[in-house]
Amino acid sequence: MTPPGDGAVELRTLVKRYGAAVDGRRAVDGLSLTAARGAVTALLGPNGAGKTTTIEICEGFRRADSGTVRVLGLDPVADARELKPRVGVMPQSGGVPGTARAAEFLRLVASFHTRPLDPSALLERLGLTEHARTPFRRMSGGQQQRLSLAVAVVGRPELVFLDEPTTGLDPQARHATWELIEELRAAGVSVVLTTHNMEEAERLSDHVAIIDRGALVAEGAPEELTGAERQLRFRARPGLGLEELLAALPAGSAAKESPAGHYLIEADVRPELLATVTAWCASHGVLTEDLRIERRTLEDVFLELTGRELRS
Amino acid sequence: MTAPPPTRLDLSPAPGAAPLPRMVLSQAGYEIRAVLRNGEQLLLTLIIPVVLLVLFSATSLLDLGPGRRVDFLAPGVLALAVMSTAFTGQAIGTGFERRYGVLRRLGATPLPRGGLIAAKTLSVVAVEAVQAAVICAVALALGWRPDGDPGSVLALLLLGTAAFSGFGLLMAGTLRAEATLAAANLVYVVLLAVGGVVFPLEKFPDGVRGALELLPISALAEGLRDVLQGGAALPGKPLIILAAWAAAGLVLAGRFFRWE
């Protein structure tokens, strides 16, 4: 864990209200979080969880109503001038004039920095060379996203904020983006990104913070969050007597059949448990198919923590 | 995407803000290119003024009073050119930059807000220089013989630019982009009609005329006429009117402009 005061981003009991304070709607509600330097931190949460608001407070675009924000040890508003060259920002969408050509805008932003990346090389790296002269408004959504990422990193920042960097990208573009993020991390850049893509969070992040209703509900490395908990799945003929099976398993185990013929056993999965289940099946003349032990995915954890109902 | 070996980039952090003048010049260069390739804006800033100049100089469609027609029209059209760039073009352009998050995104770069405004001003002045060169060349070809003191002309043009920029930015920074688009075009047309650009203010009834003379476009057009047609130096009333509009516009814009 990073010692206090040394994180790339440190939030303490952050609160941001929207509209009239009386109606009590808080976009961010007491969020505390540390993003370590040189690591990739993912803010994961359903729509409206407060991820973008949190990032915008870190970028200095909004002020928190209460709580403290430290970005590279500095205040994003009071120390803006010192922070701007050191922090790259990729907003969720837009931010580039519709008539600006890709290379032109990237060169413009590069010219604001002392030791920028070569804009042509960066465009090539992100597969945008053919679109160097395309006006922003004529680029596809995925091309616009990649240009936006290029603009965020062209100044060789120490820290980048990426707000949903891969939303709407096709698989190739998504992988190109992931590879660039992995390279940024390898080069020592701190990355804070928001996503609701579980695969992205699991693959890229050193640290995942699950946010819901403006507050932190869980955090940790992806493997810590998915935990040691495993589960057992198999297929067999429908209608097995699960009550009887459960009686043979350790207390606290659960078993269910859904859909018919698909069985899930949630328990402390040890070798003995596997032996008990297969022995029970054998004694009942049941042949299991697709028997497998799996870890919970981040998606399982996420849905468990944030609920399954749809959010507006 | 084809799969040649990916380009190696040195992504290791090496941040640093370029010197302010370099950032401002770079941004101004971008803004100038953006204006010059924007067809709709060129229509407003160059084509309409030149067409009005040529049309009303070469025909007697309008009664322009005594004196040579082009000598009356050239200063008015120069004033129109200043308004079209400093006010209409800047209001619409900046309004949409605000709407599409461009101002916010630039706000995340090392370019400070003051630097962005400086770059916009430089770009307005540069575009005005192009407009003035074209309009003067056309007017001279039509037989224009300007009089007067270049210093006074410069003072009028700069104060006019400041006045129109202030209100253009005020509009862009407070209204929705669509409202700015409509209002800025409406103001352009109305001031073209009633601001002494091509229709002499003498044609309006006395009471109305007194009020119309206080408009920034009238002050600029009349002031330029006083110098270029009448040979006056530092015409007091137009300069005072423009200075008042400039002060009001810049103070209001500074106070009420919203970046997003």
- Per-residue pLDDT reduced to its tens digit, A69-125: 999 999 999 999 999 999 999 998 889 999 999 999 999 999 999 999 999 999 999
Q: To the nearest whole angstrom, how far is the Cα of B251 from the nearest Cα of chain A?
A: 24
> Rounded to whole angstroms, how far apart are CA atoms A94 and A227?
38
Per-residue pLDDT, A258? 83
Q: Of how many residues is chain B composed?
A: 260
Interacting residues of A226 by C-beta distance below 8 A, sequence separation 6+ = A295, A296, A297, A298, A300, A301
Beta-carbon separation of A86 and B15 below 8 A: yes
Mean pLDDT of A159-175: 92
Beta-carbon separation of B17 and A113 below 8 A: yes
From chain B, pick out residues whose CB is under 8 angstroms from the CB of A91: 101, 104-105, 108
Question: Is 90 exceeded by the pLDDT of residue A295?
Answer: no
Q: To the nearest whole angstrom, how far is the Cα of B18 from the nearest Cα of chain A?
A: 5
Question: Is 50 exceeded by the pLDDT of residue B220?
Answer: yes
Per-residue pLDDT, A309? 67
Give the mutation candidate from A111, A118, A131, A161 for the B interface (greatest B CB count, under 10 A): A111
E strands in A52-147: 66-71, 87-90
Beta-carbon separation of A84 and B38 below 8 A: no
- At A1, the pLDDT band (50, 70, 90 cuts) reads very low
Per-residue pLDDT, B6? 59
> Rounded to whole angstroms, how far apart are CA atoms A193 and A172?
19
Beta-carbon separation of B7 and A121 below 8 A: yes
From chain B, pick out residues whose CB is under 8 angstroms from the CB of A186: 11
Residues in A 111-130 with any Cβ partner in B closer than 8 A: 111-115, 117-118, 121-122, 124-125, 127
Per-residue pLDDT, A58? 94
- At A2, the pLDDT band (50, 70, 90 cuts) reads very low
Beta-carbon separation of B22 and A176 below 8 A: no
The secondary element (H helix, E strand) that includes residue B94 is: helix B90-99
From chain B, pick out residues whose CB is under 8 angstroms from the CB of A82: none
B113 touches chain A (CB under 8 A): no
Three-class DSSP category at A191? strand
Question: Is 50 exceeded by the pLDDT of residue B60?
Answer: yes
* ipTM for the complex shown: 0.89
Beta-carbon separation of A188 and B13 below 8 A: yes
CB atoms closer than 10 angstroms to residue B37: 12
Contact A169, A144 (CB under 8 A): no
**Using alpha carbons only, what angle is made at residue A189 by residues A186 and A192, rounded to the nearest 5 degrees?**
110
Domains along the sequence of chain A with CATH: 7-225 (3.40.50.300), 229-295 (3.30.70)
Beta-carbon separation of A155 and B26 below 8 A: no
From chain A, pick out residues whose CB is under 8 angstroms from the CB of B7: 121, 124-125
Of B175, B176, B131, B157, residue with least CA distance to B223: B157
B21 touches chain A (CB under 8 A): no
Mean pLDDT of B209-228: 95
Contact A40, B89 (CB under 8 A): no
B37 touches chain A (CB under 8 A): yes
A66 touches chain B (CB under 8 A): no
Beta-carbon separation of A96 and B102 below 8 A: yes
Greater model confidence, B147 or B140: B140
Three-class DSSP category at B5? coil
Question: Is 70 exceeded by the pLDDT of residue B236?
Answer: yes
Cα dihedral A198→A200→A202→A207 (10° resolution): -110
Longest distance between any two alpha carbons in chain A, whole Å? 75
Residues in A 146-205 with any Cβ partner in B closer than 8 A: 151, 153, 155-158, 172-173, 176, 179, 183-184, 186-189
Of B222, B230, B215, residue with least CA distance to B156: B222
A61 touches chain B (CB under 8 A): yes
Per-residue pLDDT, A305? 81
Question: Is 70 exceeded by the pLDDT of residue A190?
Answer: yes
Beta-carbon separation of B11 and A95 below 8 A: no
> Rounded to whole angstroms, how far apart are CA atoms A307 and A311?
10
Of B126, B124, B116, residue with least CA distance to B86: B124
Per-residue pLDDT, A311? 60
**Region of poorest pLDDT, from A9-13, A42-46, B65-69, B143-147:** B65-69
In sequence order, the β-bridge partners of residue A218 are A210
CA distance from start to end of chain A: 35
Question: Is 70 exceeded by the pLDDT of residue A22?
Answer: no
